[in-house]
Structure 1
Amino acid sequence: MGLSPNREVFITCAVTGAGDTTGRSDKVPVTPRQIADECIAAANAGAAIAHIHVRDPKTGKAARDVALYAEVVEHIKASGVDMVLNLTAGMGGDLTLGNVEKPLPPSPDGTDMAGATERLAHVAKLLPEICTLDCGTMNFGEGDYVMTNTPAMLKAMAAQIKALGVRPEVEIFDTGHLLLAKWLYDQGLLDDPVMVQLCMGIPWGAPDDMATLLALTNNLPSNWTFSAFSIGRNQLPYVAMAVLAGGNVRVGLEDNLWLDKGVLATNGPLVERAVKIAEGMGAKILGPDEVRARMKLTKRW
């Protein structure tokens, strides 16, 4: 089978994430203004989509406060810079068990379990063009933390996202998650065109080798649109992997803190590097309106 690289690529920038990265880099945006400014810088560098988490401005820890999301969105709107906004809906599915001898009750440190409606409160209020749907449950790290998304939770969240008229970006962390995505689609809970993000190289999910990437892409329905990324030092090489596999690209400080060896990154230069890689492979970089047309998104302002 010959190569089928993507010739028209859109770039998503995941600007801050929810991980404990603020202690490792002072470039990670924390306040709503900082997060908005990084989204703007990413858009000016060539990202069509900004993927947004928020953080507690006092502690830097992950948050899901609707007011913080609203402040980020208002700053972006006031800037006049056009981009597609993709708000995470992954928060509220965090379970940290007590310990290996007494897993219950869960540890309050790191546990944040919320119902479907509460997890989508900021989406319902702000109506972004896209929000994420983490399609499965997975171990993270080496301790007792589990990313928790049951089939029942996914059904409820997918139904609410659909009713809001928001496009879900289905996050696939492992091969079984793709089966869950197809199951949701077969029940009419995901509308065409389906948008998938392949999250590779995250322990203990799908590894980021080419064989595993192709195992996933070869099992995607042909009319689904996908992006793919890896983390850490493999983020930028994976730009080429994603394009070669026929997909789109994600970079940003959520997944990688470094631009070069010993050089801490900000989001704009990571996007610039991704643009250079993709264009060097013969791809055109799509802007936000082109992504809206392709993914049938409703522009909100």
Structure 2
Amino acid sequence: MSPSTILTCAVTGNLTTPEQTAYLPITTEQIATACIEAHDAGAAAVHIHVRDPQTGKPSMDVELYAQVVNTLRRERPELIINLTTGPGGRYVPSAEDPKIFAPGTSLLPPEKRVEHIAALRPDICSLDLNTMNSGNQVVMNTPTNVRRMAKVIRDAGVVPELECFDTGDLVLAQQLTAEGDLQGPGVYSFVMGVRYSLPFTTPAMQLARSLIPQASEWTAFAVGRHAFQAVAQAYLLGGNVRIGLEDTIYIDKGQLAKSNAELVTKARRIVEDLGGTLATSAEARQRWGLAPNNQKR
């Protein structure tokens, strides 16, 4: 096991809605505050989506990202900032003609999905490698589009967190690394428990771990009712952990979490009860190959 465990807090996400929980941060001020509170509770990194402050719906507005990032760099310069690039890859086929998109489709040119990465140069950004069913919709990240996004990320000096939903994503990551589109050994995130993705089981997590280079850094997390179980399992298998209102809105069965910090506190207790310790942001920066305290900016 690693001497310390890196905990990432995913504070708001793309799919959790204000209708599900009144505690979901929506405005840039609320999101920044949630990140700061999560860091102070033990998170070394925060994974950030932004939302339209009027509607609460997901947004890719660069200015909204800038407001959150600038606050965090001022208030918690040591905190590792991880911005999403996931939105913009969803396709909903028309019932009449599947070649025509229906409402809910969010497809964007690859460069548009990483526009905020080039502008703000966070420490890390997610890079989704999945093409998969998502309910009656499809998420599409073709190898060509992933390469185009990876180039923008690389040119910005940002480390991609490779979000892998199934075994084929891990195979693709190895090919892109071998061809020079990604740098090895890599920082991986195994997304588990999403419908039609890797199930949350010990063998599935072990399989995912076996398909990446031994020297890689990896995090595993699960959504919904398995979120805290995944914290324990990832720690026991030597990985890093993730929790946050993106992944679960419950602190316990039937009990809504009142904040991301509350979720982080419980995850921290799980790791510590199992004999581990959480890494500081400085320790995580060293392991993930990041500049100390945002010195690259």
TM norm. shorter chain > 0.5: yes
Tell me the SS of whatever aligns to 1:85: strand
Tell me the SS of whatever aligns to 1:169: strand
- AA matched with 2:281: P
Tell me, yes or no, if the aligned pair for 1:43 and 1:83 is still in contact at 8 Å. Answer: yes
- Take 2:74 and 2:9, find their aligned partners in 1: how far apart are those partners? 20
- Take 1:184 and 1:58, find their aligned partners in 2: how far apart are those partners? 39
Tell me the SS of whatever aligns to 2:294: coil
Query: Within 5 Å, which residues of 2 pair with 1:234-245?
Result: 234-245=226-237
- Take 1:294 and 1:189, find their aligned partners in 2: how far apart are those partners? 21
Tell me the SS of whatever aligns to 2:238: coil
In structure 2, the gaps of 5 or more residues are: none
Of 260-269 and 50-59, more deviation after overlay is shown by: 260-269
- Take 1:45 and 1:81, find their aligned partners in 2: how far apart are those partners? 16
- Take 1:21 and 1:275, find their aligned partners in 2: how far apart are those partners? 25
Aligned residues between the structures: 293
Tell me the SS of whatever aligns to 1:227: strand
1:300 alignment counterpart: 294
- Take 1:9 and 1:20, find their aligned partners in 2: how far apart are those partners? 26
- Take 2:227 and 2:77, find their aligned partners in 1: how far apart are those partners? 26
Tell me, yes or no, if the aligned pair for 2:163 and 2:188 is still in contact at 8 Å. Answer: yes
- AA matched with 1:72: V
1:192 Cα offset (Å): 3.5
In structure 1, the gaps of 5 or more residues are: none
Q: Tell me whether 1:257 sits opposite 2:252 in the alignment.
A: no
- AA matched with 1:160: V
- Take 2:181 and 2:97, find their aligned partners in 1: how far apart are those partners? 37
2:131 alignment counterpart: 137
Q: Tell me whether 1:274 sits opposite 2:267 in the alignment.
A: yes
1:102 alignment counterpart: 97
1:82 Cα offset (Å): 3.0
1:246 Cα offset (Å): 1.2
1:300 Cα offset (Å): 2.3
Query: Within 5 Å, which residues of 2 pair with 1:39-188?
Result: 39-80=35-76, 82-99=78-95, 101-107=96-102, 109-141=103-135, 143=136, 145-188=137-180
Tell me the SS of whatever aligns to 1:18: coil
- Take 1:186 and 1:88, find their aligned partners in 2: how far apart are those partners? 24
Tell me the SS of whatever aligns to 1:112: coil
Q: Tell me whether 1:211 sits opposite 2:206 in the alignment.
A: no
RMSD: 1.3
Tell me, yes or no, if the aligned pair for 2:6 and 2:284 is still in contact at 8 Å. Answer: yes
1:20 Cα offset (Å): 4.3
- Take 1:154 and 1:295, find their aligned partners in 2: how far apart are those partners? 21
Q: Tell me whether 1:12 sits opposite 2:8 in the alignment.
A: yes
- Take 1:43 and 1:110, find their aligned partners in 2: how far apart are those partners? 33
- AA matched with 2:290: L
